[in-house]
Amino acid sequence: MRKRHLEVRRLGRVAYDEGLLLQNELEQTVIERRERDYLLLLEHPHTFTIGRRAKENGVLATAEQLKTLDVTVFETNRGGKVTYHGLGQIVGYPLVSLSPDREDVHQYVRDLEAVLIAVMADYEIEAFRIEGLTGVHTREGKIAAIGIHIKRWVTTHGFALNVNTDLSYFDRIIACEGEPVTSMERLLGRELNLSEVEDKIIHNFMKVFGSVLTPEIKN
């Protein structure tokens, strides 16, 4: 399998619609050129996103409660149901060409899970898959959600890892399959440096996907 060049962009805090616009731009670049892949790492303001498999009652909060909580709601073309993005959470958007040698959607999702399970192992957190579900789980609950979209074998959307996340926002939605959620901060009993966790995500992403890093772009 040939190595692909990976450009990482650490973007800091980005509004959800701005992140979506950047994904759309880079998606077209990857489709047209197939020269390099991208990994966007960022943090969103409080946002509920509704995936293609979501039901109408997936968001439990009323319009007034959403305003009080300063939460924005977006419908998206990713797979999955409803999830939360917010402060203290690392969101990763890989824009990866799966063509010609990785044209397997299920394997791609398993690879994303493998990246995050390896990151958890770096912090001595036992994490695992649950058959029939998507994402990364621990004995205390789900720690990372995954929802993707693929166009012409180029991926968008990706994963959301709860690092120092305020988990009370998940009480306002029926997240994924309704399973409990947790965070690295809760499991380790301390707040983590997001940049340090991003370093470990990049390292493990390169190992799993066999990527060669191009000069990093920081916000």
Which two three-digit tokens encode residue 176?
A: 């994924």
User: Cβ contacts of residue 41 below 8 Å, gap of 6+?
Assistant: 8, 9, 10, 11, 90, 91, 92, 198, 201, 202
Catalytic site residue 176? yes
Whether residue 219 is contained in a domain is answered as no
Q: For the domain that residue 95 is a member of, what is the CATH number?
A: 3.30.930.10
Whether residue 17 is contained in a domain is answered as yes
pTM of the predicted model as reported, rounded to 2 decimal places = 0.92
What sign has the CA pseudo-torsion 165, 79, 81, 107? Answer: negative
Whether residue 60 is contained in a domain is answered as yes
Partners of 95 in beta bridges:
38
Q: Which domain holds residue 50?
A: 4-213
* Active-site entry in 71, 176, 181, 197: 176
Whether residue 14 is contained in a domain is answered as yes
Q: Total domain count for the chain?
A: 1
User: Tens of pLDDT along the chain (219 residues)?
Assistant: 567 899 999 999 999 999 999 999 999 999 999 989 999 999 999 999 887 665 556 788 888 988 889 999 988 877 677 889 999 999 999 999 999 889 999 999 999 999 999 999 999 999 999 998 899 999 999 999 999 999 999 999 999 999 999 999 998 887 656 689 999 999 999 999 999 999 999 999 999 999 998 876 655
DSSP symbols for 5-28: EEEEEEEEE--HHHHHHHHHHHHH
Which two three-digit tokens encode residue 189?
A: 């009993």
